[in-house]
Amino acid sequence: MAKTGTIYLVGAGPGDPDLLTIRAARLIERARVIVHDGLVDPAILALAHPEAELVPVAKRRARHTMPQDDINALLVRIARSGEDVVRLKGGDPFIFGRGGEEAEAARAAGVPVEIVPGISAANGAAAAAQIALTHREASSIVSFVAGQCKGLAEQDWAGLAGKGRTLVIYMGVKTAPQIAEKLMEDGLAPDMPVAVIENGARPSMRVIRGLLAGLPDLVEREAVVSPALIVIGEVTARDDVALAAIAKESAQ
């Protein structure tokens, strides 16, 4: 009976190879097949074995090189051929990484699957920007939402942001106008501080500060591109540098 390989769903973290878990680094180094997303940093892919087959399945807004069902089928096919396969994802596989769907597909096919968690984009980017997502004096609740899900306008975000709360929005660059409008319609103050973290935890990281009402203009004027996170809450304005940046932005 032919051996079945294992599918490893591996979190690549926010981009810096130094932030990989030891388990993730070891799997990448020894893998013979790596199926990776487009946002995985080239420095992490450079850790792969010279003879490893690197299979890109890049996903961008409205542009998928391979539909999710096809990715699921590819992973199962490789494992059934007897080869272990590393499915490498930015951040953590189970936080907006569709790792849950891939794990379900593996289990349904009777293929062994292991989840290797990674530092999430939110944790990694916020730490690099020195924004504490929770703070004794500012926030005891953190919520993660996706800013490009279908039916964004119909989603109920009431209570996710405001005093004592931090809201982290993934994939929200293109929908920043709708996000700002939605939150203000739900009662969030227009002068709530925000931070946009572009290329978090990478050498090219930018942290751009402002206020909720000015979020759409800020994203457009600064030509923010993915990967980027939007953090909304008082935790984004806890130091003099942040306050000065927000004051400057407000005066624009």
| Per annotation, catalytic residue among 59, 84, 92, 182 | 59
Reply yes or no on whether 18 is catalytic: no
DSSP code of 125?
H
CB 210, CB 173: distance < 8 Å: no
Contacts of 92 (CB under 8 A, 6+ apart): 11, 99, 117, 118, 119, 120, 121
168: part of which helix (H) or strand (E)?
strand 164-170
| Per annotation, catalytic residue among 37, 41, 84, 92 | 37
Reply yes or no on whether 59 is catalytic: yes
- Return the CA Rg of the chain: 20
- CA-to-CA distance for 229 and 236, rounded, in angstroms? 12
Residue 28: phi and psi, rounded to 5, are -65, -45
**How far are the Cα atoms of 100, 107, 151, 222, 245 from residue 230, in angstroms, in the given order?**
24, 34, 19, 14, 16
**Residues recognised as catalytic:** 37, 59
